[in-house]
Amino acid sequence: MAPMVHGLEAKYFGRVLFSYIDADDSRTLDIQRALGFRYQPELYLLDADGNVLQKFVGFTSQEQLESAFAQYLP
């Protein structure tokens, strides 16, 4: 999934900010808890205030992500 996500990051550069959390890094435990992280992979679509708009668990297709982006991008 990483190549697809990195491709979307390039495609939506300047419109969507992509951040990556290492689930094995103890320094990210607070954000993992705040988001309700449980499984890998998990993707979260957040608004500018950090509110979760959508959560994707397990394999997520490029089409699913782009559809979600289209809902929230002007």
List the chain domain ranges.
2-72
The CA distances from residue 38 to 2, 17, 18, 33, in Å, are 18, 22, 19, 9
Q: What global pTM score does this model have?
A: 0.86
Identify the CATH assignment for 2-72 out of 1.10.260.40, 1.20.140.10, 3.40.50.800, 3.40.30.10.
Answer: 3.40.30.10
pLDDT in single tens digits along all 74 residues of the chain: 889 999 999 999 999 999 999 999 999 999 999 999 988 899 999 999 999 999 999 999 999 999 999 999 98
